[in-house]
């Protein structure tokens, strides 16, 4: 009998996309012997869709991930070719950083981090089966017969599980960008008790830059002042490339409508559920029939290629229709498609089967991260990967888990939404999902999370001390500004023609919507020059102090409900007074706290009131 190749690891991470990279790096950096198993090493940290990192709300996730000690922020700072801060015309809560990546250089940068990380082995191979004994992970085996005994496993399989790429009537059993798919692991998951569902996403065509008439597009340059993603990055200066804004036309929409019978999305060839907030161009034309045009963005894929990405134009139309659609757009009349747009279907799990640490409820030491949990996007995946990796390492060390709540971070919102509410479509992070978004800004992610990352052991001493210095300098500047009083001439010089009472403090002046730190410096010699990050914190605090105070009180109430634990073995069927729908959902989802129970759709305030009475009764009886 031939003995299969076997090597023991603490953790096996399956999948080396954005979730798998962060999960593996976290486990290895926390001292655990880790294997990162990928279908194809050429696909490590692949960007099969848009060549960018960040964006609205997604930028928050990347900065939080960085504050905790993750890699994505530093990798994109090293490899971006354009950087822009979005939503600057709105309040600071929704400011979001977005960087155009050189996608090949980003892959190289992340691959270098993985291949030079102590305790981490990268290996190409297809996982076939996960085994468990007594409800705990014991090994991962591959299709070629290798067996890897392990203490824990993290599944970060992305869109590769029995994936199918679709272009019109042509269906290919493959992963994105022509890579192979994972054919066997889905069966193992179902045997382990994870019912699977089919989701769908898609990507636009890539086009040859040399066949674009850029004169018909609106140029979108990068920001003059570059804001880094990583709190460890210093000032960044780089020559940036531009993106370009264009629009579809009535002719574009006519071509789509005339060919809807050939669109897999409407012919029944696509069975997976697609993303609501990133629809295909054919879906946009059908859902928003009253619109004369839809925006699209031309984005470079990198400095070493002539291929450009057409953001906003994902499709699964047949090839001949795609050529007509793209060439109907002003500036693309002679465009050459280098890669066709396609849709991709794949298997994923119901994330309500996971704890709020991303560990499976019924199998110990089995964690899930990324698109296998029903989410979409590189940033959502990376955030889950880091979160799962940290909690996996802490579990192996018998330490308390790192649980970020909705009041702590966008990562907490993401995990709570997935594990507590579930999702019936590919989940996308948005600022509107965060109830406490004025407190959870991207500019203060380091102040909120670096100490947590440092206590876990992932954030470095250098990072921690940098955060402490920022906090100290901010507090000292606030105190100074409250002590500086403006005389009448100073007030008049700052705001000529505006009645400003003499004797107001510098802090009071900055509270005004028309008050700026730069104007204050011109008339007050004792207002110091400070780092931009400190100035930013002070101005935001003073201008929004009332709102911040109100939201902090809301957070206090939230934390009170989150601290009220629900016994894991509570029998909801025995609690009279809770409605049938609520009883069924509570029994299925098994929320760990009163706060989590209250966020479940179908559980009313009346149900929570009854549950609170029952918990008080159990407490008095010494059972809770």
**Which residues touch 215 (CB under 8 Å, ≥6 apart)?**
331
Show the tokens assigned to 532: 């931009």
Express each pLDDT in 478-521 by its tens digit: 999 999 988 877 777 777 666 666 678 989 889 988 888 998 88
Express each pLDDT in 297-341 by its tens digit: 999 999 999 999 999 999 999 999 999 999 999 999 999 999 999
How far apart (Å, rounded) are the C-alpha atoms in residues 258 and 285? 11
Q: Is the pLDDT of residue 1 over 50?
A: no
pLDDT averaged over every residue in the chain: 94
Express each pLDDT in 126-160 by its tens digit: 999 999 999 999 999 999 999 999 999 999 999 99
Mean pLDDT, residues 345-353: 97
The length of the chain is 624
Mean pLDDT, residues 36-58: 96
pLDDT cut 70: percent of the chain above it: 98
> How much is the pLDDT for 488?
72
Mean pLDDT lowest among 351-360, 393-402, 424-433, 607-616:
607-616
In the chain, the domains with their CATH numbers are 9-198+347-456 (3.50.50.60), 206-345 (2.40.30.260), 470-549 (1.10.10.1800), 564-620 (1.10.150.570)
> How much is the pLDDT for 605?
87
The model carries a pTM of: 0.94
Q: What angle do CA 66, 70, 71 make, to 5 degrees?
A: 100
Residue 542 near residue 507 (C-beta atoms within 8 A): yes
3-state SS track over 376-416: CCHHHHHHHHHHHHHHHHHHHCCCCCCCCCCCCCHHHHHHH
pLDDT band at 84 (very low <50, low <70, confident <90, very high): very high
């Amino acid at each position: 009998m031939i003995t299969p190749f076997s090597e023991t690891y603490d953790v096996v991470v399956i999948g080396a996309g954005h979730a798998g990279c962060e999960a593996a790096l976290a486990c290895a950096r926390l001292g655990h012997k880790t294997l990162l198993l990928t279908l194809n090493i050429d696909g490590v940290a692949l960007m099969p869709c848009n060549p960018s990192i960040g964006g609205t709300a997604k930028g928050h996730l990347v900065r939080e991930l960085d504050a905790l000690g993750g890699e994505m922020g530093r990798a994109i700072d090293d490899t971006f070719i354009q950087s822009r801060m979005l939503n600057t015309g709105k309040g600071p809560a929704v400011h979001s950083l977005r960087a155009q990546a050189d996608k090949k250089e980003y892959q190289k940068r992340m691959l270098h981090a993985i291949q030079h990380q102590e305790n981490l082995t990268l290996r190409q191979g297809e996982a076939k089966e996960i085994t468990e004994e007594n409800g705990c992970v014991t090994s991962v085996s591959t299709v070629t017969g290798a067996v890897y005994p392990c203490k824990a496993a993290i599944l970060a399989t992305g869109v590769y599980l029995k994936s199918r790429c679709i272009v019109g009537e042509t269906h290919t059993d493959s992963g994105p960008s022509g890579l192979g798919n994972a054919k066997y692991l889905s069966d193992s998951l179902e045997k382990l008790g994870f019912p699977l569902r089919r989701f769908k996403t898609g990507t636009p065509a890539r086009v040859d830059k040399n066949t674009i008439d850029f004169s018909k597009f609106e140029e979108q340059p990068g920001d003059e002042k570059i804001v880094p993603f990583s709190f460890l990055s210093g000032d960044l200066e780089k020559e940036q490339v531009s993106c370009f804004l264009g629009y579809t036309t009535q002719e574009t929409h006519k071509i789509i409508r005339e060919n809807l019978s050939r669109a897999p999305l409407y012919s029944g060839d696509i069975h997976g559920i697609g993303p609501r907030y990133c629809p295909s161009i054919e879906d946009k034309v059908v859902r928003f029939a009253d619109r004369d045009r839809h925006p699209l963005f031309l984005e470079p894929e990198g400095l070493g290629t002539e291929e450009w990405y057409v953001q906003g134009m994902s499709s699964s139309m047949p090839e001949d229709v795609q050529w007509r659609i793209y060439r109907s757009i002003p500036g693309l009349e002679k465009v050459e498609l280098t890669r066709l747009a396609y849709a991709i279907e794949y298997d994923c799990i119901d994330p309500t089967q996971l704890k709020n640490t991303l560990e499976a409820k019924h199998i110990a030491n089995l964690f899930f991260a990324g698109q296998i949990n029903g989410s979409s996007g590189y940033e959502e995946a990376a955030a889950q990967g880091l979160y799962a990796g940290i909690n996996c390492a802490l579990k192996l060390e018998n330490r308390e888990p790192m649980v970020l709540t909705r009041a702590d971070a966008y990562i907490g919102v993401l995990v709570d939404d997935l594990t507590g509410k579930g999702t019936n479509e590919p989940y996308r992070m948005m600022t509107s999902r965060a109830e406490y978004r004025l407190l959870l800004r991207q500019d203060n992610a380091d102040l909120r999370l670096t100490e947590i990352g440092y206590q876990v052991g992932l954030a470095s001493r250098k990072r921690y001390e940098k955060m402490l210095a920022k906090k100290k300098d901010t507090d000292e500047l606030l105190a100074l500004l409250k002590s500086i009083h403006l005389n009448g001439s100073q007030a008049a010089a700052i705001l000529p023609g505006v009645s400003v009472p003499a004797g107001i403090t510098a802090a009071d002046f900055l509270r005004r919507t028309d008050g700026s730190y730069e104007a204050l410096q011109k008339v007050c010699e004792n207002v110091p020059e400070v780092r931009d990050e400190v100035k930013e914190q002070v101005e935001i605090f003073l201008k929004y102090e009332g709102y911040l105070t109100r939201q902090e009180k809301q957070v206090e109430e939230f934390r009170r409900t989150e601290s009220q634990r629900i016994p894991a073995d509570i029998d909801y069927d025995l609690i009279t007074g809770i409605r049938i729908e609520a009883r069924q959902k509570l029994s299925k989802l098994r929320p760990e706290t009163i706060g989590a129970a209250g966020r479940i759709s179908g559980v009313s305030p009346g149900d929570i009131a009854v549950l609170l009475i029952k918990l008080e009764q159990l407490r008095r009886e010494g059972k809770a």
